[in-house]
Amino acid sequence: MKRDIEEPSINLTTQSLPEYQSETIVVIGAGVAGLSAARELKALGYQVTVLEARDRIGGRVWTSHHLGVPVDLGASWIHGAEGNPLTQLAAQLSLTTRPTKLANASFYDSDGRPISSSESNALLSRLDAILDLQPQPDEPDSTLAEAVDWLSLSQPLTDWQQQQLNWIYAALANFMGAEVTELSRAYFNEDEYFSSSNVLLSKGYEPIVRELARGSDIRLGQVVHRIVYGSDRVLVETEQAVFESDRVIVTLPLGVLKSGQVAFDPPLPERKQQAIQRLGMGVLDKVVLRFPQLFWQGNTDMIGYLPRDRSDAALLLNLFPHLQEPVLVAFLGGQAARESEQKPEEELIARVLRSLRLIYGTSIPEPTEAIVTRWASDPFAWGSYSFIPVGASGNDYEILAEPVGERLFFAGEATNRQNPGTVHGALLSGVRVSKQVMLEHRAQISIF
């Protein structure tokens, strides 16, 4: 169930404490969770080393400059700006943010004809009604599609109804990274949220990632294969080296944990293994197009397209208000994204252009630059963010967050029941795991 939450603290302390200076910590993953944990522990005085498999920091937060302007290829929004710790960081760095609203979108049917405001408002109201569904704890869980009569495909639909249904399916897949036929009716949207609008960063997430990483010892290109943990030390084996430490914080994405490509010795407790397998790893991909000039409404936040073919992008983000450059971002979520990753980049770009030409005419220009993401095929992510399918629950996020013994700790968006699938969820999980490490260390110090 969604509810407002209070503004958290994002710093444990700003003063190094002598009793922690002999303790060594290895953090696996230089995404936001790992960087946040390293930042907090370093401030306390711990000796922290961050191991990152990629040749860059940020993980699933990745700002590209390939188009000549900053574009986030992974996470884009600060979800709920008011009271959000990311908003605090953005303000400290003097970053410009701008809200976006789905209500400020131009909608078109599958033939490219504009949809009236009354029709688009009705469409958005149906979407909001689904997102506002409350859990029914006394009823057996079912898929979201089975639980919402309007999402059922059992009755004959007119062409117009089918277009609306396709858009609702696509929008939910974009938001959740999964299909309504996968999502748990009881738990799909139970996370908490910060109030107010979602905002984009004019320079992308890059400045925030750099600030979180500032001063940390980060080793790039370190692909972890095995973690050996016991009662006194932990060994982390990569392709290049073996790192020994007092404790390890694992911030690997859920998709990597599900893949089994990182071995744990001894194996993780059965309770944690089952939670990892029950949770789902969703996917949201982007087709980013830069054009030589603006040919759409520059002041609209988004473009909604009601497709007959569900593999077409149903939602495009207009970056012109943020960048003052003609850039559109088409979204593909869930199964449409997974299927698109098997197709060549040229075909995916052509599909988006086909929709745009139905709306704006065949004379619109070819893009000057393009980027296509493939997060489900990324071996260091295997997806975009977690979701709760039928058979899982929010409790699985909490199980994944539990330490194993005194040496092995876990962080990441999939360990944050209150804010899964978000950058601030990852950030706050780093703060949480830092406190766990500190308290465990203090308990051991008190024993002796």
Q: In the chain, where are the structural domains located?
A: 18-60+202-280+390-447, 98-199+281-377
12, pLDDT greater than 80: no
Q: Which residues does residue 77 pair with via DSSP β-bridges, in sequence order?
A: 200
Structure confidence at residue 141 as a pLDDT band (50, 70, 90): confident
266: burial class by Cβ within 10 Å (0-12, 13-18, 19+)?
A: exposed
Q: In the predicted model, what is the mean pLDDT of residues 145-165?
A: 78
Q: What is the pLDDT of residue 205?
A: 98
| Percent of the chain whose pLDDT exceeds 70 | 91
Q: What is the pLDDT of residue 1?
A: 37
Find the range with the poorest average confidence among 243-247, 277-281, 307-311, 344-348. Answer: 307-311
Find the range with the poorest average confidence among 157-161, 210-214, 278-282. Answer: 157-161
Q: What is the pLDDT of residue 310?
A: 87
pLDDT digits (tens, 9 = 90+) for 262-279: 999 999 999 999 999 999
444, pLDDT greater than 80: no
189, pLDDT greater than 90: no
Question: Are the C-beta atoms of 248 and 409 separated by less than 8 Å?
Answer: yes
3, pLDDT greater than 60: no
pLDDT digits (tens, 9 = 90+) for 288-321: 999 999 999 999 999 999 999 988 999 999 999 9
Tokens 């609203």 sit on residue: 101
SS3 (DSSP) at 297: coil
What's this model's pTM, rounded to 2 decimal places? 0.93
Structure confidence at residue 9 as a pLDDT band (50, 70, 90): very low
Q: Comparing 161 with 256, which gets the higher pLDDT?
A: 256
Query: What is the 3 state secondary structure string of 280-291?
Result: EEECEEEEEEEC
Nearest-angstrom CA–CA distance, 438 and 112: 58
CATH assignment of 98-199+281-377?
Answer: 3.90.660.10
Q: CA end-to-end span of the chain, whole Å?
A: 44
| Percent of the chain whose pLDDT exceeds 90 | 80
Residues 6+ apart with CB under 8 A from 82: 194, 195, 196
What value does the mean pLDDT of the chain take? 91
Q: What is the pLDDT of residue 19?
A: 60
What's the topology of domain 18-60+202-280+390-447?
FAD/NAD(P)-binding domain (3.50.50)
Q: Comparing 126 with 209, which gets the higher pLDDT?
A: 209
Question: Are the C-beta atoms of 51 and 28 separated by less than 8 Å?
Answer: yes
131, pLDDT greater than 70: yes
Structure confidence at residue 151 as a pLDDT band (50, 70, 90): low
pLDDT digits (tens, 9 = 90+) for 393-428: 999 999 999 999 999 999 999 999 999 999 999 999
Structure confidence at residue 186 as a pLDDT band (50, 70, 90): confident
Residues 6+ apart with CB under 8 A from 236: 26, 28, 51, 224, 226, 227, 228, 242, 243, 244, 245, 248
